[in-house]
Amino acid sequence: MTSMSTRDLRLRTNRGGVLSAEAGRWLAPPPPEEELLLDRVRGPALDIGCGPGRHVVALIRRGISAFGIELTPAAARLARQQGAPLMEGSVFDEVPRMGEWRTALLLDGNVGIGGNPVRLLQRVGDLIAPEGRVLVELGAPGCDAERQRVRLEVEDTSGPWFPWTSVAADRIDPPAEKAGFTVHDLWRGADRWFAELGRL
């Protein structure tokens, strides 16, 4: 997708750590476990926290209408360079086609955007169609939820700090139900965990 290396794209925590595994994926085409997940997508699809836009581009290549949201300007620029249509801003801003999206993507741990998964999922519920689905990536079962602040760094440009937390695969039911969703499916792909949520 791009000639950048993983050294040029980092997800940094406010404690000085770098979540390099996530950043490495963002610059590569979707691996097999993501391609299988994308088989579940019905358009139009909204990719929340799309980063450099790999899922948006992959869906469009499949003939599925897709659109991204990205808070970090440098990452949004990369996504546009790859041909991904997107909105630069927050998912809590006004979003086009509100209530019409048939699939929302919260991959790469993006269910933790804002540090409050219930609030985020409630917002996603406002954005998707009545029959809409949410595809989320989760932490491994048993992992501890840790609320922290992170920012995306692209080359020498830093995005804004924002709250971030993790949700373990065996702990998704309570926040999903509080937000008005139920877990329709939960599966492991490679060493990663995913779920499909639908309305209660």
Per-residue model confidence (pLDDT) at position 24: 62
**Phi, psi (deg, nearest 5) at residue 134:** -125, 125
Choose the most confident range, by mean pLDDT, from 24-28, 137-141, 162-166: 137-141
Rg (CA), the chain: 15
Per-residue model confidence (pLDDT) at position 125: 98
> Closest Cα to residue 183, out of 101, 192, 170?
170
Residue 13 forms part of a structural domain: yes
**Does the pLDDT of residue 5 top 50, yes or no?**
no
Which residue range forms the structural domain that includes residue 149? 6-199
- H/E element, 185: strand 181-189
**Does the pLDDT of residue 6 top 50, yes or no?**
no
Per-residue model confidence (pLDDT) at position 22: 59
Q: Is this structure's pTM higher than 0.85?
A: yes
> Closest Cα to residue 166, out of 3, 11, 2?
11
Residue 24 forms part of a structural domain: yes
The answer to whether 142 and 132 are in contact (CB under 8 A) is no
Residue 54 forms part of a structural domain: yes
**Does the pLDDT of residue 150 top 90, yes or no?**
no
Residue 1 forms part of a structural domain: no
Q: At a CB cut-off of 8 Å and minimum separation 6, what does 165 contact?
A: 112, 115, 116, 117, 145, 146, 147, 148
Query: What CATH number is attached to the domain comprising 56?
Result: 3.40.50.150
Confidence at 16, pLDDT banded by 50, 70, 90: confident
Residue 56 forms part of a structural domain: yes
Domain count along the chain: 1
Give CA–CA dist 140/167, Å, rounded: 9
Across 19-28, 108-117, 125-134, 137-146, least confident range: 19-28
Is the link from the previous residue into 175 a cis peptide, with omega within 30 of 0?
no
Confidence at 1, pLDDT banded by 50, 70, 90: very low
Q: What residues form DSSP beta bridges with 68?
A: 47, 86
Choose the most confident range, by mean pLDDT, from 7-21, 139-153, 180-194: 180-194
Q: What is the DSSP letter of 144?
A: P
| 57-93 tens-digit pLDDT | 999 999 999 999 998 888 899 899 999 999 999 999 9
The answer to whether 181 and 199 are in contact (CB under 8 A) is yes
Residue 164 forms part of a structural domain: yes
